Each structure stands twice: as structure tokens, then as C-alpha cells.
Structure 1
């Protein structure tokens, strides 16, 4: 599977909470991290999302928010990965930032140059990559 999503995380479904309209699916990655996705109940059924099912979570880099000096337990987004900035590439308008946690999980974000400057993003700076469960696309083989 080849997609344009910069962030692709393979794992298996650890939990699926079924609802009338949407399901909440928790995907556990090899390093133990969890990515939470909200998908329609119809999509969860069609994809067969149940505990133990192998799946891939995808998040566009433009859907990732980068924060510094924050307690990630106090943000409303379900997905918050704390780590350090491991890459900063400034373009004409936007900056490509990578935040990597202590297990090596890397999340790419595209943010404005002014935001990168305001946050003082440099390689080695502690930061968090945050994205909503509704920003996660789930895929399975088959």
C-alpha cells in the first residue's frame, strides 16, 4: 500500500469500542504506543476491526499539531506523543518538523514557519506531536 500520508503506523487492534454511529479503535504499535482512531461503525465492520486484527493508522502531517512546554495529559486530543525534535526543515512558507519519542516512533508535522519560530523548534528540543482520533485513517490488508 502506497499513500501520500507521511505518518503510517503498523500495529494491531488492542480494543474496539462500538457505538451507534462511530467506533473508537485503539491500535497498539510494536513499541507499545497506542494510536486511537474514530471511524464510522460501518467502516469498522467492513474492515473487520476487532482485537488482534493487524491494521495501519495513517495521519497526514498537516493534521499534526506540535506543542512545547505542555503536559500532554491535559490536552483533549486522544493522540499525544512526547519526545524530542529530531528534524526541522524550513521551506518558503511551512516547516517540516519531526518529533521522535524514546522508542524511536517518529511523527512528522507540517506547520507554518512563524509557528516553528515562535515555538523555538530546534533539533533536540522537547516537544509533543498531537492529533485527534478523527484525523486517523485506518487501513487493513485485504
Structure 2
């Protein structure tokens, strides 16, 4: 697979919290860092995601905000 996004972080799925329509997928990317993504349950099933799987967080955004 090729992708145009340049921000791809490899990690391991450590938790999937399923809802009715969406799920939160928590990805451990190492160094004590985690990324959480909310995706549809259809995507969870289509990708056959489960805890322990290796996966990528692909970040594609037109802006990143920082606040204090």
C-alpha cells in the first residue's frame, strides 16, 4: 500500500472500546506514548482489528493547533 500522508506512526493496538456506531482504538506507539482514534464499527470489522495487532496511525491534517 502506498499513501500520500507523511505522518505514519507504527504501534500496537492496546485497547478497543466499542460503541454502537463508533469505537475508540488506542495505539501504543512506544516511549510511553499513545494515540487514540475514533473510527466506525464497520471499519473495525472490515479491518478485523483486535487488541495486540500491529497497526499504523496515519495523520493527515491541514492544521495542528497547540494550546496552553
Q: Identify the TM-score tier after normalising by the shorter chain.
A: 0.7 to 0.9
Aligned-pair Cα RMSD in Å:
1.7
The structure with the largest helix share of the pair is 1
Structure 1 runs not aligned, ≥5 long: 1-69
How far does the alpha carbon of each residue in 1:54-87 deviate from its partner, in whole angstroms, 9 at most, with x for none?
xxxxxxxxxxxxxxxx6xxx43223211010011
| Aligned residue runs from structure 1 range 93-108, under 5 A | 93-108=21-36
How far does the alpha carbon of each residue in 1:76-102 deviate from its partner, in whole angstroms, 9 at most, with x for none?
223211010011011010011011113
Is 1:109 equivalent to 2:37 in the alignment?
A: yes
Is 1:84 equivalent to 2:23 in the alignment?
A: no
Query: In the aligned structure 2, how far is the partner of 1:133 from the partner of 1:93?
Result: 23
Q: Provide the TM-score with structure 1 as the length reference.
A: 0.43
Tell me by how many angstroms 1:133 deviates: 4.0
SS at match of 1:101: strand
Alpha-carbon contact 1:94-1:111 (below 8 Å) kept: yes
Aligned residue pairs, count:
68
Equivalence for 2:3: 75
